[in-house]
Structure 1
Amino acid sequence: MPVTALVSAKSCGVTTAALALTLASKRPSLLAECDPAGGTIRAGFLQQEVGAGFGLYHLAAAQRTGPDALAQAFASHLWPMDEAGHRKLLPGLTDPAQAAAMDRSWTSLAEVMHVLAEEAGYDVLIDAGRLALQSGQLHPLLTPAPLLHQADLVLLVVRGTEQSLTLARHVIDPLRTELAERGSGPDALGLLLIEDGPYRAHQVAEALKTPVLAGLPLDAATADYFMSGGRPPRGYGRSLLLRHARTATEQVEAAASRRRIQQQYPARPANPQLAGVLQRLSERGGPRG
């Protein structure tokens, strides 16, 4: 199953898109909220149901102990977003100042996510937030660069508006170069189009010289529920956003599969300790289970 990182040049709906893809997946899925600027799902969609003693920041201390401790901590900090526990969230930072503590943890965290995807069969979505550049490269503190480097796909979330395309043009070449030089290759980069504005998918792809791998409609009611929580809108389970998100997850998986075949990726060496810990995630619902 793919590990997919979502990023943007500016606020384009990364968190809403990541939530939609996670909740719409036909398989067990995980959303890892890894925006160094801080997470919003805890206070919004989850309505403060998850306290500050839970989530991404607490994995940094475990990482210093070793990979098995990190996997144990990772498993214990995943929060179920449905009754069956098939949709899980790794809540993000509660304070941007915590991002500095994560600097040495991103690489190990990426390994854990890949084991969860490949050994436990999860769709893993990473909300990496807004891209920050420094001297033409990903900023080492303001962007979780190792997560992007190791992702199967990196989706730049854009809207079909002139403003969004203008902002995306400034970051897409540095991002492509970064993936070519430090990641798994420039072909890991694709676009996720939020269908807002006059430009259609083929026009966006041509403007940014990058394929549109999936699209999501502008669904204000469902997006507001994802950002603010509370009572779901009427017909939420059949909403336009979730229906299109189900198709989008299939398109993303197909793109990752094509890329894997084209690149003839060798199998990642399995870490039995990590696999054993994370496999147990499929046997329980999480902290509330």
Structure 2
Amino acid sequence: MPVTALVSAKSCGTTASALALTLASRRPSLLAECDPAGGTIRAGFLQGAVTAGYGLYHLAAAERIGRSELANAFAHHLWGIDDAGHRKLLPGLTDPAQAPALTRTWPALAEVLKVLAADAGHDVFVDVGRLALEAGRLHPTLTPAPLLHAADFVLLTVRANDQSLTLARHLIEPLRTELDEHGTGSDALGLLLIEDGPYRPTQVATALHTPVLAALPWDAETAGYLTTGGRPPRGYARSPLLRHARSATDQLDALAQRRSIYLNRSAPDANLAGVLQRLTNARGGSRG
């Protein structure tokens, strides 16, 4: 199953889109909220149900002990976001000042996410948030580059309007260079189009010289629920956003299977295999 990282040039619905993809997946799925600027799902969609005792920041101390400890901590800090417990969240940072502590944790976390996708059959989505550049390259602290390097796909989230395309344009080449030099190749880069604006997918792909790998409709009511939580809107499970998100996960899976033929990936660290058993009996809480 693929690991898909979602990034943006500026706030444009990346987190709501990542939640929609995670909730709509046909398989067990995970959303890792890894925006160094801080997570919003804890206070938004989950309406404060998750305390600061859960989440990404706690993985840094575990990683300093060892990879197995990181795997155990990872499973312990997951939070169920559906009643059945098949869809889980790794809550993000509560304070951007915590981000530097995770600099050496990102590569190990990337390996855990690969194990979860390859060995446990999960769809894994990583909300990286807004990308930061320094001298034309990814910022070493404000962007968790190792998560992008390990991803099967890196989706730059854009809206179908001039403002969003203008902001996104300057990120394309730095991302291509980064993925060619350190990742799985620049062909991992694609667009996640939010159809909020006058341009069609083919026009957006042409404007940014990058393929649209997935498109989601502008569904303000459902997106609002995924952003702020509360009572689900009427017909939520059959909403346009979730229906298209389900199709998008299918498309990404098919693309990942075809792409894997050409990738020569190393085997995941065997010491992380324990994460699979931990996930089966995860002690994390549940939204239900």
The TM-score normalised by the length of structure 1 is: 0.96
Match of 1:266 in 2: 264
Counterpart CA distance in 2 for 1:188 and 1:153 is 5
Matched, 1:204 2:201: no
> CA offsets, 1:172-215, max 9 Å, x none?
11111111112111101000100010110000000111100110
Contact preservation (8 Å) 1:80, 1:285 = no
AA partner of residue 51 (structure 2): G
Residue 245 of structure 1 pairs with residue 240 of structure 2:
no
The SS at the match of 1:268 is: coil
1:2 aligned residue? 2
**Deviations, residues 14-48 of structure 1 (Å, cap 9, x unaligned):** 10110000000000000000000000000000010
Any idea what SS the aligned residue of 2:58 has?
A: helix
Q: Which letter does structure 1 place at the counterpart of 2:249?
A: T
Q: Aligned runs of 1:70-109 on 2, under 5 Å? A: 70-109=70-109
Unmatched segments (≥5 aa) in structure 1: none
Cα distance change on mapping 1:53 and 1:285 into 2, 3 Å: closer
What is residue 42 of structure 2 aligned with on the other side?
Answer: 42
Q: Report the 3-state secondary structure (helix = DSSP H, G, I; strand = E; otherwise coil) of the residue aligned with 1:246.
A: helix
Identity of aligned residues (%): 70
How far apart are residue 285 of structure 1 and its match? 5.7
- Aligned counterparts of 2:141 and 2:151: Cα–Cα separation in 1: 18
Tell me the equivalent position of 2:281.
284
Letter in 2 for 1:145: A
Answer whether contact 1:86 1:285 (CA < 8 A) is retained.
no
CA displacement 1:119-145 (0-9 Å, x = unmatched): 111100000000100011100111111
Aligned partners of 1:13, 1:286: CA distance in 2, in Å?
Answer: 30
Partner in structure 2 of residue 20 of structure 1: 20
Q: Structure 1, residues 101-159: CA drift from partner, whole Å, max 9, x if none?
A: 01010000000000011111110000000010001110011111110011110000011
What is the aligned residue count? 286
- Partner residue in 2 for 1:186: 186
Partner AA of 2:158 in structure 1: V
* Aligned-residue CA RMSD (Å): 1.1
State whether residues 75 and 277 of structure 1, in contact with CA within 8 Å, keep that contact through their aligned partners in structure 2. yes
User: Where in structure 2 are there 5+ consecutive unaligned residues?
Assistant: none
